[in-house]
């Protein structure tokens, strides 16, 4: 789905690096009429200038259904990631407890967590997703993390492909930390698109992999670790964590090959090598 505004539109505005607060950048590419830049000081990649919040609301009206029309197809699309993530959470927090899924979509991770003994609930900004999830018996609210007033209340918080959509991910992570109990676990899933775009650029292969203005930033293992530390989290660790299974054959095959390669290299390197260009899972803790 193409963006509705261009960088010349009055609905856009310039911004600074969300990680270090500076405005020293290098141009990476332009996609959907939006410029993507990289901070020369900390390496963070983000869209600049970006749409104003009032413009962003229009982009997300049919976001999920434009990606995958049938809500039920989101389950097989994300199932491998959900399974690996649930297994990981069980190892990190075996006593289980209360879990919040931020940006829960159609609620399929909440369903997985509930089956494993978590008291799972979710929040999302899509009326469509919230209605669908409620109809399936899950506890879900139309809300932002900032709307939740229960501090130190959750044993685990998950965010699958959410952080890259946010205009101020650092502020959201600080809010999330307040919601977690001391010793609680945060699990994130974020894309790492920049290496692929940089690889394709000299070959002049056009692509829209950054997906602006829906994605406003891109995370490397280094920048997500820096942001989590700045937000006050401890013991962050990034891993491959599985991959998606798109409905169409060619994208599904590409995803399977890249994820299998990334997982193999990760294991052979004794969990040291994180293949650039594939999405990754990161976990971090709130200090006890």
- State pLDDT tens for residues 66-97: 889 899 999 999 999 999 999 999 999 999 99
pLDDT for residue 27 is more than 50: yes
Neighbours of 107 (CB within 10 A): 28
Question: Tokens 């609930």 correspond to what residue?
Answer: 121
Residue 235 has a pLDDT of 93
Question: Taking the CB of residue 82, how many other CB atoms lie within 10 A of it?
Answer: 21
Segments making up each domain of the chain, as ranges: 68-285
Distance CA 191, CA 277 (A): 8
Is residue 26 helix, strand or coil? strand
Phi-psi sector, 223: left (phi>0), alpha (psi -120 to 50), beta: alpha
Distance of CA 269 to the CA centre of its chain: 25
pLDDT tens, position by position, 245-272: 999 999 999 999 999 999 999 999 999 9
Task: Supply the DSSP symbol for 143.
Answer: -
Give the residue, 11 or 8, on which the prediction is more confident: 11
Q: What are the tens digits of pLDDT across the range 172-229? A: 999 999 999 999 999 999 999 999 999 999 998 989 999 999 999 999 999 999 999 9
Q: What share of the chain is helix, strand, coil (3-state, %, to 5)?
A: 40, 25, 40
Share of the chain above pLDDT 70, in %: 94
| Confidence at residue 12, expressed as pLDDT on a 0 to 100 scale | 83
CA 258, chain centre distance (Å): 19
Higher pLDDT, 66 or 35: 35
SS3 68: coil
In angstroms, rounded to a whole number, what is the distance separating the alpha carbons of residues 246 and 199? 23
Return the HEC string of 196-247: HHHHHHHHCCCCCCCCCCCCCEECCHHHHHHHHHHCCCEEEEEECCCCCCCC
Indicate if the pLDDT at residue 8 is higher than 90: no
DSSP 70: S
What's the predicted TM-score (pTM) here? 0.93
What element of type H or E holds 31?
Answer: strand 25-31
What backbone torsions phi and psi does residue 98 show, to the nearest 5 degrees?
A: -95, 130
Write down the CATH number for the domain with range 68-285. Answer: 3.40.50.150
pLDDT above 50 (res 7): no
């Amino acid at each position: 789905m193409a963006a509705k505004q261009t960088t010349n539109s009055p609905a856009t505005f310039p911004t600074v690096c969300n990680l270090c607060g500076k405005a020293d950048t290098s141009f990476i590419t332009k996609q959907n009429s939006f410029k993507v830049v990289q901070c020369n000081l900390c390496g963070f990649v983000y869209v600049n200038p970006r749409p104003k919040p009032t413009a962003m609301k229009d982009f997300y009206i049919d976001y999920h259904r434009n990606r995958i029309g049938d809500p039920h197809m989101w389950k097989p699309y994300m199932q491998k990631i959900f399974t690996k993530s649930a297994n990981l959470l069980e190892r990190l927090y075996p006593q289980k407890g209360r879990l919040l899924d931020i940006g829960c979509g159609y609620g399929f991770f909440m369903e997985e967590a509930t089956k494993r003994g978590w008291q799972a609930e979710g929040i999302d900004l899509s009326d469509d997703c919230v209605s669908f999830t409620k109809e399936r018996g899950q506890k879900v609210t139309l809300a932002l993390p900032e709307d939740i007033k229960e501090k130190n209340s959750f044993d685990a918080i998950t965010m699958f492909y959410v952080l890259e959509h946010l205009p101020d991910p650092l502020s959201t992570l600080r809010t999330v930390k307040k919601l977690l109990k001391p010793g609680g676990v945060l699990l994130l899933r974020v894309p790492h698109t920049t290496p692929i775009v940089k690889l394709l650029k000299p070959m002049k292969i056009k692509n829209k992999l950054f997906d602006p203005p829906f994605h406003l930033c891109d995370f490397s293992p280094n920048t997500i670790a820096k942001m989590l530390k700045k937000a006050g989290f401890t013991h962050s660790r990034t891993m491959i964590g599985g991959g998606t299974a798109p409905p169409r054959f060619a994208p599904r095959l590409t995803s399977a090959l890249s994820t299998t390669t990334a997982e193999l290299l990760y294991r052979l390197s004794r969990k040291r090598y994180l293949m650039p260009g594939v999405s990754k899972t990161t976990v971090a803790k709130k200090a006890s």
